[in-house]
Amino acid sequence: MKILLVEDDYALAQGLQSALVREHFVVNWVSKGREALLVIATELPDIMILDIGLPDINGLQVLKQLRLSHPTLPVLLLTARDSIEDKVSGLDLGADDYLTKPFDMQELFARLRMLGRRSMVAVSSKITIGAICMDTASYQVTCDREIIELSRREYMLLQILMENKGRVQTRDNLETKLYSWGAEISSNSIQVHIHNLRKKLTPNFITTIRGIGYIVKG
Ligand code: CA
């Protein structure tokens, strides 16, 4: 599950990030409201953890703008102030839940699991192209209904290609996207992962655009 963490307190963000990664969440961390909106426009997370007190535009403003384009993205608000007004305006603006700092990590994980379950019901988690079906809720990929075992990086690459069906993904583009989701990967190793993916999928599922990148045509 991909989490976009928007928090300007460096120490707290670091702590949260490592705790979430240990729980097998993929975390993309930004410290400003505007950055968060930029990320949302290019790489949609499954859940957003949003601090209200941010240095540029505050979390409530981020939420307001976000809801115009993404009415259903699950958002968990963090607030340092135990302020009723913040919570009420947050919920009015469409936050799904909130936690008041300081909070217990176990409590955070429980809320995230709940939000994750809710969003899986709301949004179809299956992408099917030809014989290949990817279930982004269970991280399962099948080829002609047979389950295929993929490494985490192979899975992430395939998800990017399938979510962008019909659009060429340059190597740089793939590298940046993987990096933003916490998987550092070089351009050379992308070639290797694609090579391995091809062996596991139907032969022509991923097309190479020579000197540029890759595409899933569908
Ligand atoms: Ca803050």
Copy the structure tokens of residue 119: 């969003």
CA–centroid distance, residue 9 to ligand 1 (Å):
6
CA–centroid distance, residue 132 to ligand 1 (Å):
43
CA–centroid distance, residue 49 to ligand 1 (Å):
12
Percent of the chain predicted with pLDDT > 90: 53
**Higher pLDDT residue, 118 or 198?**
198
Copy the structure tokens of residue 81: 């102030």
What pLDDT shows up at residue 175? 85
Give CA torsion, residues 12, 106, 73, 131, to 10 deg: 120
How far CA 167 is from CA of 88, 131, 213, in Å, comes to 42, 19, 10
CA–CA distance, 116 with 9 (Å, rounded to integer): 25
Instruction: Place 17 in a pLDDT band, splitting at 50, 70 and 90.
Output: very high
Mean pLDDT of 91-118: 88
Cβ count near 41 (within 10 Å): 11
What pLDDT shows up at residue 44? 86
* ∠ CA 172-150-130, rounded to 5°: 80
Between 3-17, 35-49, 51-65, 84-98, the lowest mean confidence (pLDDT) is in 84-98
pTM to 2 decimals?
0.60
Pick from 15, 21, 17: nearest CA to 1: 21
**Higher pLDDT residue, 24 or 141?**
141
What pLDDT shows up at residue 168? 92
Q: Which residue has the tokens 């993987």?
A: 178
CA–centroid distance, residue 5 to ligand 1 (Å):
12
What is the residue-wise DSSP string for the chain? -EEEEE---HHHHHHHHHHHHHTT-EEEEESSHHHHHHHHHHS--SEEEEES--SSS-HHHHHHHHHHH-TTS-EEEEESS--HHHHHHHHHTT-SEEEESS--HHHHHHHHHHHHHHHHHHS--EEEETTEEEETTTTEEEETTEEE---HHHHHHHHHHHHTTTS-EEHHHHHHHHHHTT----HHHHHHHHHHHHHHS-TTSSEEETTTEEE---
CA–centroid distance, residue 176 to ligand 1 (Å):
27
CA–CA distance, 205 with 72 (Å, rounded to integer): 31
CA–centroid distance, residue 98 to ligand 1 (Å):
14
Beta carbons of 115 and 107 less than 8 angstroms apart: no
CA–centroid distance, residue 2 to ligand 1 (Å):
21
Question: How do residues 51-90 score in pLDDT, each as one tens digit?
Answer: 999 999 999 999 999 998 888 899 999 987 667 778 788 8
What pLDDT shows up at residue 122? 52
CA–centroid distance, residue 206 to ligand 1 (Å):
43
Question: How do residues 112-129 score in pLDDT, each as one tens digit?
Answer: 988 887 765 555 678 899
Copy the structure tokens of residue 88: 């009420």
CA–centroid distance, residue 100 to ligand 1 (Å):
12
CA–centroid distance, residue 6 to ligand 1 (Å):
9
CA–centroid distance, residue 115 to ligand 1 (Å):
22
CA–centroid distance, residue 50 to ligand 1 (Å):
9
